[in-house]
Every structure is written in C-alpha cells, then in structure tokens.
Structure 1
Amino acid sequence: MKGALLLFSSVSILLPCLGSCPKKCLCHPSSNSVDCSGQGLSKVPPDLPPWTLTLLLQDNQIHWLPALAFSSVSLLTTLNLSNNSLSNLASEAFYGLRHLQVLNLTQNSLLSFESSFFHSLPGLQELDVSSNSLSLLPTSLGKPWENLTLFAVQRNHLLQLDRALLEAMPKVRLVLLRDNPWKCDCHLLGLKLWLERFTFKGGVTDGAICRLPEPWKGRDLLSIPHELYQPCPLPSPDPVPSLVQQPDPAPQEAQKFPENNSGPQDPLECETKPKPKPTNLRHAVATVVITGVVCGIVCLMMLAAAIYGCTYAAITAQYQGRPLAPSSESEKMGSKEPMDSSPA
C-alpha cells in the first residue's frame, strides 16, 4: 500500500514537469524533442513542453515570429524553421534562447534581418539562412558570435558582404556563399581579403562566384587578383583645398581665392578654370621669344665678324702688292754709306 502511494505521488510530481504535448505534434521525452513538422501550422504552438531541447517546425506555413515566440522552451538547443513562409521577424523573436546552438531558417522569404535578432543567441554555433531573398546583411553584430562555427547564406540575392560581419565570428570554420549575384568590384575587396586569410588558416568555403561585372562573370572571387580591382571613388573633397594642392605658380593667390568669395563654391566652376595650363603656355611663348632674340643677336654678331674679317683681308692684300716708302732715317743712313766706304 505504501509503495502504491509513493508511486502515485512520484507520478503526480513528474506530470507537471513533463507538460502536455501540443496538438499535431509528436513529443519524445526520452530525447527531449518535439516534432511539429509538416502539420500546416501558421504559428508556433503555445503549449510546448518546457523540457524541449530540439524543436522541429519545418514544412509549415509560419509567416512571422512574434516577440518571445519561444519563451516557454528556454532550454532549446536546436530549432528548425526551414521551408516556411517567414518574411518578418520581431526584434525579440529569439529572446531567451541563450542555449540555442543550431538555427535553421532555410527556404523562407526573409528579405533582411537586423543584428538585434541574434543578440539573445550567445551560444549559437550554426546559422543557416540559405534559400531566402536576402539582399542585405548587417555590417556588424554589435558584439561577436564567439561560438559560431558555420555560417551559410547560399542562394540569396546578395551583391556584397561586409568584412566586419565575418570578423565578428572568430571561430567560424565553414562559410557557404554560392549562388548569390556577387558584384566583384572594389566594394567586395574586403570580403576577398578576408576569405584569403580565412582559407590560409584552414577555413572551408564553397567560394563566391561573381555575377558582375561582365569580365569576372563565372569566376571565383578568390581567383581574381586584387591588383586588378578598380579603386573605389573617394568622397569628393572640398574644392577649395583642391585648388591649393594644384601646381599653381601663384599659390598665395589660390589661398586667397576662397577668402574673397563669401558664397559657396561650385566644384564645376573650379574645375573649368584650371590655371596651370595658361601659365605653362605663357612660359612657352616667352621661352620661344627669348630664344629667338638670342639667336638673332648671335647671328648679327657672326655677320659683323664676317664683314670685319673680309675687310681686314682686303686691306692686307692691297698693301702686300706695293713697296713700303723708306723712312727718313733709312734715307739718311743710305746717303752716308758711300762716304764711309771711301779710302782715307
């Protein structure tokens, strides 16, 4: 009798802990799993057993998740929501799931998600959002996913992926990126550099196949040399300092130019009035004129030297044909020579 009473009391204590199983679901207390897949559900069942560790909700018609949608199963470690109609997630849809390790959101209609969706999932290890309509991912998560090892975004509409998002996953070892229309331009250079480092450290990826631009279509992002990327255009600076940096022969005037004009400067006006070209043209004309003057002076000097040489040669030739007149001293000496030669 006492044994029967003890058994009855034990069962009465355990029944509230076990909880009831939702309709259209199969509960397996031995494995702590609840299978509600393929039952045409439009929302998450509200009466899930609190001991649930694995919840299977795939192949249903759930189109959105409200806040605290899984508050009754705070011990959940695996959640499968694949092949539903999810297009909207409340910012606190996964709030309270601190022990969740595997989250499967494949084959839904998600357009984007914010980093706040996953702030309450510090223990997440595998995140699969493949086969959605994602065209934009958050640039950062606010805080790192310290335990995430798998990140899958295959078959979406992603053109870019910010490097900072991946850097917030220090333990990730498998990244799946295929079947996205990746635009392999300068904005994807950060992803390329991250993937190079990721694979060098032993990480595994299926590769990002470029859809755009046309020269890189069909090529793996990792096979394109980063030296061939066109640099991203920098934000246009203030036109005033750009004038000061130009090789202007009068830099002081360029610095005074913005002070004299009180109104805002139009960048097009500044670009259509470049000063170096007219200055270089004036320098070129002045150089030609000076060179011509110098050449003319040299030619005149050479002509004068030639005339002087010809005149000097003519005068010399004229005097070589005549005997020079004897000087008075030579005449006197010549007249005295017979007297000196006569005998005494």
Structure 2
Amino acid sequence: MFKRGCGLEFLLVLCGLELSWSCPRHCICYTAPSTVSCQAHNFLSVPEGIPVDSERIFLQNNKIHRLLQGHFSSNTVTLWIYSNNISYIEPSTFHGFTLLEELDLGDNRHLRSLAEDTFHGLSRLKALHLYHCGLSSLPNNIFQGLRNLQYLYLQDNHLKFLQDDTFMDLHNLSHLFLHGNRLWSLNQNTFRGLKALDRLLLHQNKIEWVDQLAFHDLKSLTTLYLFNNSLTEVSGPCLDMLPSLEYLRLNDNPWSCDCKAVSLWEWLKRFRGSTSSVGCRVPQNMIGKDMKELHKEDFPNCSPTILNSESRAQTNNLSGTVNPSMNRGVAVGGQTHIVHPSRPGRSRNCTKPRNRASKGKGDNEVHDSTEVMADKEDSSPDFTDGRKHDHTSPDGTVTLRKQKCPPRTTVRPPSGVQQANNRASSSQFPSHVSALFVALLAIITDYILR
C-alpha cells in the first residue's frame, strides 16, 4: 500500500501533472498552475523551500504560529492558511503581493489583532477571509486600497464596534459577513462607501441601535439579515434607503409594537420583498403577534400617517431623493391624474428574463470561498453560517417568490375620449358628402349648358 504522500504524487502523475523537483519536505508540488500543498502535516512554522514561482500555496490545518516577511514570494495568487494557530502576522508579510487574489486566514482563534498596514498594497485581492478568529477590533484604514475586494468574511469574531469609514475604500465589495460578533450599534457612517454591496449579514450580534442614516450608501443591497439581535425598533425611513432590498430577516428580536413601531409597520406594508416574521414582545397585549399582521386599529393612540410622512420627508431630504409620500401630478387628456409612488423594492425589467452565471469553484479548492447564489426570482438565500443555503423562511421551508411584474396591457386613451372622437367623426360625415354632391352637380350643369 502506498503512503499518503506517495499515493497523491502517483495520482498527480497519472493525471498528467508535472511534479516540481524543488519542494518542501512532506509537501506536494506541481505545475500548471504552480502549486505547493502542505496541508494537514502539523507544521509549527511555514516550511522552508517553497519555490519562489509558486502561484498557489495551501497550508491549512497545521499548527503554524507566526507569519513573517520572506515566508512567501510576491508571485502568490492564492494563499490558504486557515485552521492554524496563528497569533502574530508581521505587518510587512504581504507587502508587494500585487498578484494576490485570495487570502484565507480564517479559523485562527489566537489572531486577536492586526496591524493597520497588514493588507496594504493588495490591489488585486478579491476575497479576504478573517472568520472565526479572535479579533475584538479593526484598526483604522486596515482595508485601505482594497478596491477590487468582493468578499469579506469577518463572521464569528469578537467585534464590538466598527469605526466610521472602516470600509470606505471597498468600492466593489458585494458580500460582507459580520454575523456572530458582538456589535451593539450601527452608526451613520459605518457602511459609507459600500455602494456595490449586495449582501450584508449582521445576525447573531447584540445590535440594539441603528442610526436612521446607517444604510444611506447601500443602494445596491438586496439581502439584509438582522435577526437574533437586541432590536426593539427600527425606523421605516432607515429602511427606505434600501431601494434594491429583496430579502429582509428581522425575527428573534424583542420588538416593541407600540407607537414606536408605527413607521416600521407602515414600511412593512409597502415592502414587496421577502421578510421574516417580526414578533412583538411588548406591550403585554401584543406578545406573540407578528407586526406584519397588525392593523391600524392596533395603534389606537398613534398617528401613523403624520409620523410616517414627516420622518420620511426628513430622510429623503438628507439623502437627496424625492419624497415618495408626495403625489406627483401628470396631465392626461386635459386632466391631472395622480401618480402614486412605487413601493420599495428593486426595479424589474418585465420583458426580459434574467440570467445569472454562477461562479464556479476551482478543482483543487477545499473549502467554500464564495457563495453560489440561486436566482433570486426563485428562492431567498439564507446565510446563517456564511455558506450556501436553499431555504427561505426562518423555519427552513422553501418558498418561491411571487412574480412582481404584472402582465403587460396595451395603453389606450380613456373610454370617454375614445367615444367622443368616434361620435365627432360620424356626425361630420354627412356634411362632407353633401358638399361633394353639390360641387359635382354644378360641374355637370355647366358642362351641359356649354
């Protein structure tokens, strides 16, 4: 029977992969692409002898304690060092790594702090994994210059607070995973700059306060998870700033269903996307009820219309958008018809099907580095652990989205206008015939007399 290493080498040769002659002991090295695989060998430090031309380096599931400058070369494109014992990363370890696209440092529970410039210069980095570490804070400008980053995994750490503009440079970030931390508030500029963000996961934190302008830059956000926090209220104008939102989970929070809930209740009535239940905890007569199922009569001493219109006007003035509570007049057929504002939710092209190409995984990848999302027209994603799920509702059942686009109908003038025009045409017809007959008779008479 072959030893594990020899057996893998034999399989690589059978597959036509060229083995490298320069390779660290106990590792497997091959070309096309140039790869060094040293996983699960109980290494206490980065092994020596890694070829400088290595594009992919796999060091996961070892016991490596430190990462220092010179351990890797700047030719590295993919570097996996997850599930080790890393407690220290020298700030200059990755300086000059302009080709690096994926860096996985996840599941290093002793990695409690990072220097501000640890990731500076990684201009091509697309995925950064820092999940399940011991991070309690993030230094200023730690993500500075990472303009190509698309996936940032920060879940299952000990983060209590996010400084303003932490993500300011992440113009292309589409996935931000922050669930499983200890965050208690979301400030006005916590997410500033994230204009391309599609999915934001904040569940399983301790969030009890959300600034009304916390989501002001998230115009592309389609998925927001806030379940299992300490929220008692969120204002409707706060969620009005998410015009593309399709999936929202608010369950397992101690919601207050008194007058403070009016603006959220009104927003939920307008929202056309998919939402979880919003269970009431107070007052006493509301315990166990779903806020979405309440009626105007359940708020007898509140003023829903005034409260909603005033707060939304303030929000839209700040964000530079038109106040949707104001009706706009459009002249049609000499009369002014009221055009009601559209409900919150992503605009749809109802004439063309939407096709989305899913991102495939590499043949040698061992763990999930990115989610592969199902088409959102069919089901809602669930990212309770940062990986792909196919169920929609909190109870795990699969539900299908209802078609948002109504059948197209031909636009015609109002029936009254149509009938008036027809009557006018029919009434004018005899006079034209009479005039023509008189003219013809005069011509014939004149011809005979001559």
Partner residue, 1:219: 229
AA of the residue aligned to 2:165: A
Aligned to 1:44: 46
Distance 2:187 2:38 in 1: 43
Counterpart residue number, 2:200: 205
Structure 1, residues 171-200: CA drift from partner, whole Å, max 9, x if none? 11110110001112xxx3136664xx85x8
In the alignment, the residues of structure 2 paired with residue 222 and residue 151 of structure 1 have an alpha-carbon distance, to the nearest angstrom, of: 28
Distance 1:50 1:223, change over 3 A: farther
Alpha-carbon deviations, 1:230-284, whole Å to 9, x = none?
Answer: xxxxxxxxxxxxxxxxxxxxxxxxxxxxxxxxxxxxxxxxxxxxxxxxxxxxxxx
RMSD: 3.1
User: 1:103–1:201: structure 2 CA closer, same or farther, 3 Å change rule?
Assistant: closer
Kindly state the Cα deviation for residue 128 of structure 1 after the two structures are TM-superposed.
0.7
Alignment-mate amino acid for residue 207 of structure 1:
L
Q: Does the aligned pair in 1 maintain the 2:166–2:190 contact within 8 Å?
A: no
1:120–1:69 Cα change, 3 Å:
farther
Partner of 2:175: 174
May I ask how many residue pairs the two structures share in their alignment?
204
Deviations 1:38-64 (Å, cap 9, x if unpaired)? 011111122112221110000001011
CA–CA separation in structure 1 for the residues paired with 2:191 and 2:96: 36
Matches within 5 A, 1:189-268: 189-190=187-188, 194=192, 198=194, 203-211=198-206, 213=208, 218-219=228-229, 224-225=234-235
Kindly provide the CA deviation profile for residues 24-44 of structure 1, in whole angstroms up to 9, marking residues without a partner as x. Answer: 101121331111000111111
Q: Which residue of 1 aligns with 2:92?
A: 92
Shift of 1:142: 7.8
Is the contact made by 1:150 and 1:173 (CA closer than 8 Å) also made in structure 2? yes
Aligned to 1:131: 132
Letter in 1 for 2:29: C
Please list, as runs of the form range in 1=range in 2, the aligned pairs for 1:30-69 lying within 5 A after superposition: 30-69=32-71
Structure with more relative contact order (C-alpha pairs < 8 Å, separation 6 or more): 1
Q: Which runs of 5+ in 2 are unaligned?
A: 1-19, 211-225, 239-259, 261-450
**Normalized per residue, which structure has more helix?**
1
Question: Once the 2 structures are TM-superposed, how far is the Cα of residue 151 of structure 1 from its aligned partner?
Answer: 0.8
Greater Cα offset, 99-108 or 218-227: 218-227
> Per the alignment, do residues 39 and 158 of structure 1 end up closer, same or farther by CA in structure 2, a change over 3 Å counting?
same
Change (3 A) 1:25 1:223: farther
Report the counterpart of residue 156 of structure 1 in structure 2: 157
Runs of at least 5 residues in structure 1 that lack an aligned partner in the other structure: 1-17, 229-344
Is the contact between residue 34 and residue 54 of structure 1 (CA under 8 Å) also seen in structure 2?
A: yes
How is 1:106-125 mapped onto 2 (pairs within 5 angstroms)?
106-108=106-108, 109-125=110-126
Deviation at 1:103, TM superposition (A): 0.3
CA 1:43/1:151 → structure 2, altered by over 3 Å: closer, same or farther? same
Large movers: runs of 4+ above 6 Å? 214-217, 220-223
Aligned counterparts of 1:59 and 1:98: Cα–Cα separation in 2: 26
Residues in 2 aligned to 1:146 and 1:140: alpha-carbon distance in whole angstroms? 13
- 2: distance between equivalents of 1:217 and 1:141? 28
Q: How big is each residue's C-alpha offset from its partner over 1:193-235, in whole Å with a ceiling of 9 and x where there is no partner?
A: 64xx85x85611223444155999933879733888xxxxxxx
**Quick one: structure 1 residues 33 and 142, their matched pair in 2 at CA, closer, same or farther if it must change by over 3 Å?**
closer
Task: Give me the whole-angstrom Cα distance separating, in 1, the residues matched to 2:200 and 2:52.
Answer: 37
Do the aligned partners of 1:68 and 1:96 also contact (CA within 8 Å) in 2?
no
| Distance change (3 Å), C-alpha of 1:30 and 1:157 | same
* Contact 2:206–2:230 (Cα < 8 Å) also in 1: no
Measured after TM superposition, the shift of residue 104 of structure 1 is 0.3
Aligned residues of 1:42 and 1:62 also touching (Cα < 8 A): yes
Larger Rg: 1
Distance 2:48 2:191 in 1: 46
Partner of residue 103, structure 1: 103
3-state secondary structure, aligned to 2:118: helix
Report if the CA contact (8 A) 1:124-1:148 is conserved. Answer: yes
Return the letter of the residue paired with 1:224: V
Aligned 8 A contact 1:210 1:221 in 2: no
Aligned to 2:22: 20
Question: How many Å separate the matches in 2 of 1:66 and 1:28?
Answer: 24
Paired position in structure 2 for 1:146: 147
